[in-house]
Amino acid sequence: MILQRIYWLVNSAVVMVILVTVALVLLRFIANLADLNPFGWASRTIRRLTDPLIAPVRRPLVRAGVDPKYAPLVTVLVTILLGWCLLQFVASATGILDLILRSVAAHAIVPFIGSVIYGLLSIYTLLIFARVIFSWVAVSYSRRWMRFIVNATEPLLGPLRRLLPVIGGFELSPIIAWLILEVLKQAVFATLIR
């Protein structure tokens, strides 16, 4: 019951952040189309609210040679994508915690071990997905959390990258790694948890 409330609370908060971000960026877009006085109160307030959201996206776009006018659209897409990743993580974490708590309550050691392994595989899958997303957004590897993600996922992605060819500039190793992890998760669920 508590896990459901935590999930609902986090889910609501993430959805609210996504909606507020999208609303603010759309408001800025509308203000730009309306050609408001850039020194007026409305324009300055809208810029003050949206610049912290758009500026971190604009810099990598400019470095990549993309027109910075697309930064608001990319900001909306990144917000939705990161929100979805966070919701997936929270759903996975609450589901795994529920499995662990049920196996502890039933004094079942094998389902407990299976739930822990399933949880670790799920977290690893999300780390690979996060690495792919952050590489698209061109997050620098100098950031500590990005180095953690790269170091954690490289033991699986590195050998796959050496085995699989790059097709049209698109790397297949994350897709194959995801498939391998999904098969492992299903095997753990079918054998240890059930």
> Mind listing the pLDDT tens digit for each residue in 162-172?
888 777 777 88
If one counts the domains in the chain, the total is: 2
Given 24, 57, 87, the domain boundary residue is 87
Q: Which of 21-30, 66-75, 184-193 has the lowest mean pLDDT?
A: 66-75
Helix (H) or strand (E) holding 87: helix 71-105
Mark whether 77 and 112 lie in a shared domain: no
Rounded to an integer, the average pLDDT of 162-186 is 87
- On whether the CB atoms of residues 74 and 57 are closer than 8 A, the answer is yes
In the numeric block, the tokens 């954690």 are attached to 152
pTM: 0.70
| Mean pLDDT to the nearest integer, 1-6 | 80
- Residue at which a domain ends, from 33, 57, 87: 87
Choosing from 87, 119, 141, the residue where a domain stops is 87
Question: What integer best gives the mean pLDDT of the chain?
Answer: 86
Ramachandran bin of 121, using left for φ above 0, alpha for ψ from -120 to 50, beta for the remaining angles = alpha
What 3-state class would DSSP assign to 186?
Answer: helix
Collapse the DSSP code of 121 into the 3-class scheme (helix H, G, I; strand E, B; otherwise coil) and give the result.
helix
- Count of Cβ atoms closer than 10 Å to residue 13 Cβ: 13
Could you tell me if 138 and 71 lie in one domain? no
Residue 58 identity: R
Q: Specify the pLDDT at position 138.
A: 65
pLDDT tens by residue, 8-48: 998 899 899 999 999 998 888 888 778 788 888 888 888 89
Residues 27 and 60 in one domain: yes
pLDDT beyond 90 at 155: yes
H and E: helices and strands count for the chain: 6, 0
Q: Which CA distances in Å does 190 have to 47, 66, 110, 186?
A: 53, 47, 12, 6
Which residues constitute the domain of residue 152?
A: 108-194
Asked whether residue 13 is domain-assigned, the answer is yes
